[in-house]
Structure 1
Amino acid sequence: MINVNEYFDGAVKSLAYTAIDGKSTIGVIESGEYEFGTSTNETMTVIEGELVALLPGEANWETFTNGQSFEVPANTSFKVKSKNQTSYLCKYR
Protein backbone atom coordinates (compact mmCIF):
# COMPACT_ATOMS: atom_id res chain seq x y z
CA MET A 1 0.00 0.00 0.00
CA ILE A 2 1.21 3.52 -0.80
CA ASN A 3 0.56 6.13 1.90
CA VAL A 4 0.55 9.88 1.32
CA ASN A 5 2.26 12.03 3.99
CA GLU A 6 2.00 15.80 4.33
CA TYR A 7 3.93 17.97 6.80
CA PHE A 8 4.37 21.67 7.59
CA ASP A 9 1.06 22.77 6.05
CA GLY A 10 1.81 20.94 2.79
CA ALA A 11 5.36 22.28 2.32
CA VAL A 12 6.72 18.72 2.57
CA LYS A 13 4.91 15.85 0.87
CA SER A 14 5.93 12.25 0.42
CA LEU A 15 4.74 8.84 -0.68
CA ALA A 16 5.51 6.01 1.73
CA TYR A 17 5.94 2.45 0.51
CA THR A 18 7.55 -0.84 1.49
CA ALA A 19 10.36 -2.05 -0.77
CA ILE A 20 12.09 -5.43 -0.64
CA ASP A 21 14.71 -4.07 1.77
CA GLY A 22 12.36 -2.10 4.05
CA LYS A 23 10.24 1.02 4.33
CA SER A 24 10.97 4.15 2.29
CA THR A 25 9.49 7.49 1.37
CA ILE A 26 10.03 9.59 -1.71
CA GLY A 27 9.07 13.22 -1.51
CA VAL A 28 9.48 16.91 -2.26
CA ILE A 29 10.43 19.73 0.10
CA GLU A 30 9.46 23.33 -0.69
CA SER A 31 11.90 26.14 0.06
CA GLY A 32 12.16 26.80 3.80
CA GLU A 33 13.63 25.39 7.01
CA TYR A 34 12.19 22.30 8.72
CA GLU A 35 12.93 20.07 11.71
CA PHE A 36 12.19 16.35 11.63
CA GLY A 37 12.24 13.72 14.37
CA THR A 38 13.23 10.10 13.83
CA SER A 39 12.02 6.87 15.38
CA THR A 40 14.28 4.59 13.31
CA ASN A 41 17.64 4.98 11.58
CA GLU A 42 17.20 6.97 8.37
CA THR A 43 19.26 7.41 5.22
CA MET A 44 18.20 10.46 3.25
CA THR A 45 19.36 10.84 -0.36
CA VAL A 46 18.85 14.02 -2.36
CA ILE A 47 17.44 13.09 -5.77
CA GLU A 48 17.30 16.56 -7.29
CA GLY A 49 18.09 19.93 -5.77
CA GLU A 50 19.98 20.82 -2.61
CA LEU A 51 19.41 20.30 1.10
CA VAL A 52 21.46 21.96 3.80
CA ALA A 53 21.29 19.79 6.94
CA LEU A 54 22.13 20.25 10.59
CA LEU A 55 22.60 16.69 11.79
CA PRO A 56 22.35 15.47 15.40
CA GLY A 57 25.42 16.36 17.47
CA GLU A 58 26.89 18.63 14.78
CA ALA A 59 27.53 22.37 15.12
CA ASN A 60 27.80 23.15 11.41
CA TRP A 61 25.30 22.86 8.56
CA GLU A 62 26.35 20.60 5.65
CA THR A 63 25.19 20.81 2.02
CA PHE A 64 23.94 17.74 0.12
CA THR A 65 23.11 17.76 -3.61
CA ASN A 66 22.00 15.31 -6.33
CA GLY A 67 22.86 11.73 -5.35
CA GLN A 68 24.42 12.58 -1.98
CA SER A 69 23.16 10.98 1.23
CA PHE A 70 23.31 11.46 4.97
CA GLU A 71 22.49 9.23 7.93
CA VAL A 72 20.34 10.12 10.92
CA PRO A 73 20.22 7.88 14.02
CA ALA A 74 16.96 6.70 15.57
CA ASN A 75 15.27 8.80 18.25
CA THR A 76 16.96 12.08 17.31
CA SER A 77 16.01 15.17 15.35
CA PHE A 78 17.62 17.05 12.49
CA LYS A 79 17.03 20.24 10.55
CA VAL A 80 17.07 20.86 6.81
CA LYS A 81 16.94 24.01 4.70
CA SER A 82 16.10 24.26 1.03
CA LYS A 83 16.23 27.32 -1.24
CA ASN A 84 14.18 25.64 -3.99
CA GLN A 85 11.99 22.57 -4.35
CA THR A 86 14.12 19.51 -3.58
CA SER A 87 13.24 15.85 -4.05
CA TYR A 88 14.52 13.10 -1.78
CA LEU A 89 14.44 9.39 -1.01
CA CYS A 90 14.41 8.39 2.66
CA LYS A 91 15.07 4.78 3.70
CA TYR A 92 14.15 3.62 7.20
CA ARG A 93 16.16 0.85 8.83
Structure 2
Amino acid sequence: MSDAVLLTLALLAAIIGMAGFAAANDTHWRQLFRERPQSAGARAFCQASGVLLLGISFAFCAMADPISMAFLVWPMLLGVAAATVAAFLTLKAQSQRR
Protein backbone atom coordinates (compact mmCIF):
# COMPACT_ATOMS: atom_id res chain seq x y z
CA MET A 1 0.00 0.00 0.00
CA SER A 2 1.15 3.51 -0.65
CA ASP A 3 2.09 5.87 2.15
CA ALA A 4 -0.85 8.16 1.34
CA VAL A 5 -3.34 5.32 1.72
CA LEU A 6 -1.78 4.20 5.01
CA LEU A 7 -1.83 7.73 6.41
CA THR A 8 -5.43 8.19 5.29
CA LEU A 9 -6.37 4.97 7.07
CA ALA A 10 -4.45 6.19 10.13
CA LEU A 11 -6.42 9.44 10.10
CA LEU A 12 -9.76 7.64 9.74
CA ALA A 13 -8.92 5.25 12.58
CA ALA A 14 -7.87 8.21 14.75
CA ILE A 15 -11.11 10.10 14.04
CA ILE A 16 -13.26 7.08 14.87
CA GLY A 17 -11.16 6.40 17.98
CA MET A 18 -11.54 9.99 19.17
CA ALA A 19 -15.27 9.73 18.54
CA GLY A 20 -15.29 6.62 20.74
CA PHE A 21 -13.55 8.53 23.53
CA ALA A 22 -16.01 11.40 23.13
CA ALA A 23 -18.99 9.03 23.28
CA ALA A 24 -17.66 7.68 26.58
CA ASN A 25 -18.35 11.12 28.09
CA ASP A 26 -21.92 11.55 29.41
CA THR A 27 -22.40 15.00 27.89
CA HIS A 28 -21.27 13.95 24.43
CA TRP A 29 -23.31 10.74 24.65
CA ARG A 30 -26.45 12.83 25.24
CA GLN A 31 -25.56 15.02 22.26
CA LEU A 32 -25.31 11.95 20.03
CA PHE A 33 -28.11 9.79 21.47
CA ARG A 34 -30.69 12.01 23.13
CA GLU A 35 -33.22 9.45 24.29
CA ARG A 36 -30.93 6.50 24.97
CA PRO A 37 -29.22 6.43 28.38
CA GLN A 38 -25.58 5.38 28.53
CA SER A 39 -24.91 2.08 30.26
CA ALA A 40 -21.65 1.10 31.92
CA GLY A 41 -21.10 -1.47 29.19
CA ALA A 42 -21.52 1.13 26.46
CA ARG A 43 -19.05 3.43 28.20
CA ALA A 44 -16.50 0.61 28.54
CA PHE A 45 -16.99 -0.34 24.89
CA CYS A 46 -16.47 3.25 23.75
CA GLN A 47 -13.29 3.57 25.77
CA ALA A 48 -11.92 0.20 24.64
CA SER A 49 -12.71 0.89 21.00
CA GLY A 50 -11.05 4.29 21.31
CA VAL A 51 -7.85 2.75 22.67
CA LEU A 52 -7.85 0.01 20.04
CA LEU A 53 -8.47 2.37 17.13
CA LEU A 54 -5.80 4.83 18.27
CA GLY A 55 -3.37 1.92 18.49
CA ILE A 56 -4.33 0.86 14.98
CA SER A 57 -3.83 4.44 13.86
CA PHE A 58 -0.29 4.41 15.23
CA ALA A 59 0.37 1.07 13.53
CA PHE A 60 -0.68 2.56 10.17
CA CYS A 61 1.65 5.52 10.79
CA ALA A 62 4.50 3.14 11.61
CA MET A 63 3.83 1.18 8.42
CA ALA A 64 3.88 4.34 6.31
CA ASP A 65 7.00 5.92 7.79
CA PRO A 66 10.04 4.92 9.83
CA ILE A 67 9.21 4.63 13.53
CA SER A 68 10.97 7.89 14.43
CA MET A 69 8.85 9.75 11.88
CA ALA A 70 5.69 7.92 13.01
CA PHE A 71 6.22 9.35 16.50
CA LEU A 72 6.06 12.82 14.93
CA VAL A 73 3.21 12.25 12.47
CA TRP A 74 0.87 10.41 14.82
CA PRO A 75 0.38 13.24 17.36
CA MET A 76 -0.41 15.58 14.48
CA LEU A 77 -3.03 13.12 13.24
CA LEU A 78 -4.45 12.92 16.76
CA GLY A 79 -4.78 16.70 16.86
CA VAL A 80 -6.60 16.77 13.52
CA ALA A 81 -8.85 13.90 14.64
CA ALA A 82 -9.70 15.60 17.96
CA ALA A 83 -10.47 18.89 16.19
CA THR A 84 -12.67 17.06 13.67
CA VAL A 85 -14.68 15.31 16.38
CA ALA A 86 -14.97 18.52 18.41
CA ALA A 87 -16.24 20.41 15.36
CA PHE A 88 -18.78 17.68 14.61
CA LEU A 89 -20.08 17.66 18.19
CA THR A 90 -20.33 21.46 18.18
CA LEU A 91 -22.32 21.47 14.95
CA LYS A 92 -24.53 18.64 16.24
CA ALA A 93 -25.27 20.58 19.45
CA GLN A 94 -26.12 23.73 17.49
CA SER A 95 -28.44 21.83 15.15
CA GLN A 96 -30.26 20.27 18.13
CA ARG A 97 -30.99 23.70 19.60
CA ARG A 98 -32.81 24.80 16.46
Q: TM-score, normalised by structure 1?
A: 0.21
Q: TM-score, normalised by structure 2?
A: 0.20
Higher helix proportion: 2
